[in-house]
């Protein structure tokens, strides 16, 4: 009996490979589950979405792709796919995906470690997108119109219509985001700056969120979080920032320009303050060298911004000394009101226009911050009369 018939995986030299992970059965499918017991309509939905029928066990898929089981398992695990043992659950698309990733490694375009990172970043991002679409988007559109109809029966024709449009839209957005990210790399001063860059890093946090979770119904709390995330994402994008991630009651964004980050922060405070359904907001920001990896940001600058958020007053923005210094260097804020008055008097004496500072900075009490020593926070506000 052949290896394919038995379902056991060897590399031809007697070594048994570990069971790989698979996309097709989803993350909730138990290992070794009997595929034949699945709902026929659920299988139809899967076939519609994947565009192909189940033909391969994981071992067969790896062998057809010319990839070792060890590497195939690494790719599947990185993409976040569930362990299915040797069930026949994979399609031609799974084989092609393995072949493409392995081909990039063989051609020297990607190292094996980088290919795994590509698989992991893509899997994590699209998993969240897919969960959101099913939980929110499709759920709201698939209410059975007639008694006796199941949601699955309504979902099939809906997905059949939406799938090609959503797929095209996903590729469009990805290309746009890739173009923007490439532009940031091209503008970097040197190769080192591509990884360790000087950025303004900003956390915006809902005040008293833990108390809200005890008082509000789950659905109401979910609507509040979604409204907050939507407001924050729109403001960050519209003003030229980059949303790094959302954490329910907190958002993290970054910009190359401290003035842009400051404008976004103050607009967030102002927008939330004008919405009676929203709790107060506090923002902490720091400016400095940041390590970027897989779309996220790391380093002491990020930690400092987070700490400043935790000590910021309600409806207020705290920044670190480097952020304040950057605003004064670029002429966005005076170092003090005395300096602003002196600059205005000097300009008037010379018959010139007074400097137009957008922001004001007020030094706060120095205080120890866990893991970062003594920090000098600055309160950031708008200059009087500035929009």
pTM of the model: 0.66
From residue 304, alpha-carbon distances to 186, 332, 374 in Å are: 28, 22, 11
CA–CA distance, 142 with 90 (Å, rounded to integer)? 28
Side-chain half-sphere exposure of 186, counting CA atoms within 13 A: 6
Q: Is the pLDDT of residue 146 over 80?
A: no
Q: Which segments of the chain belong to CATH 3.30.70.1230?
A: 193-382
Q: Is the pLDDT of residue 350 over 60?
A: yes
343 vs 182, which has greater pLDDT?
182
pLDDT value of residue 14 = 39
Classify domain 193-382 at the CATH superfamily level: Nucleotide cyclase, GGDEF domain (3.30.70.1230)
pLDDT value of residue 36 = 46
Backbone angles phi, psi at 298, to 5 degrees: -140, 165
Q: Is the pLDDT of residue 177 over 60?
A: yes
Tokens of 249: 């009651």
Q: Is the pLDDT of residue 145 over 60?
A: yes
| Model confidence band, residue 213 (pLDDT cutoffs 50, 70, 90) | confident
Side-chain half-sphere exposure of 242, counting CA atoms within 13 A: 18
Q: Is the dihedral of CA 214, 216, 222, 226 positive or negative?
A: negative
| Model confidence band, residue 21 (pLDDT cutoffs 50, 70, 90) | very low
pLDDT value of residue 63 = 94
pLDDT value of residue 155 = 78
Tokens of 190: 């040197």
Paired with 10 in beta bridges are 16
Tokens of 263: 């404008």
From residue 344, alpha-carbon distances to 20, 326, 330, 357, 380 in Å are: 70, 21, 17, 11, 21
What contacts 24+ positions apart, CB below 8 Å, involve 3-6?
3/59, 4/57, 4/59, 4/60
Q: Is the pLDDT of residue 334 over 60?
A: yes
**Cβ-based neighbours of 335, under 8 Å, separated by 6 or more:** 328, 361
Q: Give Rg (Cα) of the chain.
A: 27
Helix (H) or strand (E) holding 266: helix 258-273
- Quick one: 85 exposed, middle or buried, by C-beta within 10 A (0-12, 13-18, 19+)? middle
**Mean pLDDT of all residues in 145-166:** 79
Mean pLDDT is highest, among 144-158, 320-334, 362-376, for 320-334
Task: Work out the mean pLDDT of the chain and round it to a whole number.
Answer: 81
Q: What angle do CA 335, 338, 343 make, to 5 degrees?
A: 80
- The answer to whether the CB of 96 falls within 8 A of the CB of 54 is no
Q: Is the pLDDT of residue 387 over 70?
A: no
**Mean pLDDT of all residues in 22-32:** 41
pLDDT value of residue 142 = 65
Q: 217-249 pLDDT, tens per residue? A: 877 888 888 888 889 999 998 998 999 988 878
pLDDT value of residue 6 = 35
Number of H helices, E strands in the chain: 15, 12
**Mean pLDDT of all residues in 180-194:** 64
| Residue 37: DSSP 8-state | G
| Residue 108: DSSP 8-state | T
pLDDT value of residue 344 = 67
Estimate to the nearest angstrom the gap between the alpha carbon of 279 and the chain centroid.
Answer: 24
């Amino acid at each position: 009996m052949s290896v394919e018939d038995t379902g056991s995986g060897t590399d031809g030299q007697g070594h048994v490979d570990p069971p790989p992970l698979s996309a097709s059965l989803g993350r909730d499918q138990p290992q070794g589950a009997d595929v034949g017991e699945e709902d026929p309509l659920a299988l139809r939905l899967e076939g519609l979405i994947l565009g192909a029928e189940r033909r391969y066990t994981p071992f067969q898929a790896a062998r057809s792709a010319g990839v070792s089981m060890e590497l195939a398992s690494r790719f599947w695990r990185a993409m976040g796919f569930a362990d299915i043992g040797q069930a026949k659950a994979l399609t031609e698309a799974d084989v092609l995906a393995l072949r493409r990733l392995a081909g990039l490694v063989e051609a020297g375009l990607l190292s094996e470690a980088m290919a795994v990172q590509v698989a992991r970043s893509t899997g994590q991002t699209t998993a969240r997108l897919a969960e959101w679409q099913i939980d929110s988007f499709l759920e709201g559109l698939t209410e059975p119109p007639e008694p006796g109809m199941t949601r699955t029966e309504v979902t099939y024709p809906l997905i059949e219509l939406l799938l090609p449009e959503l797929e095209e839209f996903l590729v469009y957005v990805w290309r746009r985001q890739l173009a923007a990210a490439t532009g940031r790399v091209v503008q970097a001063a040197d190769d080192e700056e591509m990884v360790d860059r000087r950025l303004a890093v900003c956390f915006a946090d809902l005040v008293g969120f833990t108390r809200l979770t005890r008082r509000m119904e789950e659905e109401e709390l979910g609507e509040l979080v979604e409204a907050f995330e939507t407001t924050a994402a729109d403001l960050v994008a519209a003003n030229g920032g980059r949303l790094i991630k959302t954490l329910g009651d907190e958002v993290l964004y970054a910009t190359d320009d401290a003035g842009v980050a400051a404008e976004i922060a103050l607009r967030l405070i102002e927008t939330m303050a004008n919405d009676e359904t929203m709790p107060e907001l506090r923002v902490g920001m720091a400016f400095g060298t940041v390590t970027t990896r897989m779309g996220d940001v790391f380093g002491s600058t990020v930690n400092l911004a987070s700490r400043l958020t935790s000590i910021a007053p309600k409806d207020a923005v705290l920044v670190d000394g480097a952020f304040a210094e950057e605003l004064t260097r670029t002429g966005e804020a005076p170092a003090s009101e005395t300096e602003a008055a002196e600059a205005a008097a000097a300009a008037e004496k010379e018959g010139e226009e007074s400097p137009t500072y957008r922001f004001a900075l007020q030094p706060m009490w120095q205080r120890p911050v866990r893991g970062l020593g003594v920090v000098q926070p600055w309160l950031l506000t708008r200059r009087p009369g500035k929009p």
